[in-house]
Amino acid sequence: MTDDGRDLAETQRAHWQSTYTAHPGMYGEEPSAPAVHAAAVFHAAGAREVLELGAGHGRDALHFAHEGFTVQATDFSATGLEQLRTAARRKGVDGRVTTSVHDVRDPLPLPDASVDAVFAHMLLCMALSTPEIQALVGEIARVLRPGGTFVYTVRHTGDTHYGVGTSHGDDIFEHGGFAVHFFPRALVDTLAQGWILNEVHAFEEGDLPRRLWRVTQTLPQTPGA
């Protein structure tokens, strides 16, 4: 990664910390639509443990816990995760939720083939370079059990904010202090290499609205099959 990229990522971490401090629970208490969908997919696949990346203050991690999954929630914002733990205690699901501060530019702190399902809503489209995203998806493949499911969402190049604000190259634009990597469709297909690509579903979220894809991909039961 370039020095500019490393600086951008550090700036973004500070920005998310101060945003969660200024706006506790900013995404609300209701789960996102992708998390509701993912819970059904994970149940159908017989999953019991979910790893959530970029969990923020936990609207979706709490939903997975409420649905009976054991949840490992990670984010690089300790402030967001603190809000998640407080909400989990309040809702009585803290026994099924663990949190850890983790930057997805680093290897996942989990053994090989140790989780059933991975969920990441608007995390892969953060201030990550294409090689960092590819390395992260490689890590997700490593920690998922054979046949495991990965559901992620990303803002894409059809989003209203694509091309708006400060360009950092690699389809990353910073607007209002938030840097977003807008995904071209080719990147989705690249990230599915070695996986079974089950679905790419277009949807919108929020007032902008954000335009996103919800991607579901599964690991083959037999590696390399």
| Three-state DSSP class for residue 181 | strand
Token pair in block for residue 111: 């053994």
Q: How far are the Cα atoms of 3, 126, 137 from residue 7, in angstroms, in the given order? A: 6, 14, 22
Place of tokens 């506790």: 24
Distance of CA 79 to the CA centre of its chain: 17
User: Minimum distance between the CB of residue 126 and ligand SAM, rounded to whole angstroms?
Assistant: 4
How is the chain split among helix, strand and coil, in percent rounded to 5?
35, 30, 35
181 makes contact with ligand SAM (CB under 6 A): no
We find the least distance from the C-beta atom of residue 64 to ligand SAM, in angstroms, to be: 12
Q: Is 76 in the site for ligand SAM (CB under 6 A)?
A: yes
Q: Which of 72, 77, 149, 218 binds ligand SAM (CB under 6 A)?
A: 77
88 binds ligand SAM, rule: CB under 6 A:
no
Looking at the chain, list the stretches that DSSP marks H as alpha helix, in order from N- to C-terminal side.
3-22, 33-44, 59-66, 78-91, 130-143, 185-191
| Closest distance of CB 194 from ligand SAM, Å | 23
32-71 positions binding ligand SAM, by CB under 6 A:
32, 54-56, 59-60
- Shortest Å distance, C-beta 146 to ligand SAM: 26
Interface residues for ligand SAM in 202-221 (CB under 6 A)? none
- Residues between 90 and 129 that touch ligand SAM (CB under 6 A): 103-105, 121-123, 126
Asked if 80 touches ligand SAM (CB under 6 A), the answer is yes
Q: What angle do CA 161, 55, 193 make, to 5 degrees?
A: 70
> What is the Cα–Cα distance from 39 to 183, expressed in whole angstroms?
24
189 φ/ψ angles, rounded to the nearest 5 degrees: -65, -40
Q: Tell me if 189 sits within 8 A of 125, measured CB to CB.
A: no
Q: Which residue in 8, 27, 37, 47 binds ligand SAM (CB under 6 A)? A: 27
Shortest Cβ 3–ligand SAM spacing (Å):
16
CB of 55 vs ligand SAM, minimal distance in Å: 6
Nearer to ligand SAM, 88 or 123 (CB): 123
Q: Return residues touching ligand SAM (CB under 6 A).
A: 9, 12, 16, 27, 32, 54-56, 59-60, 75-77, 80, 103-105, 121-123, 126
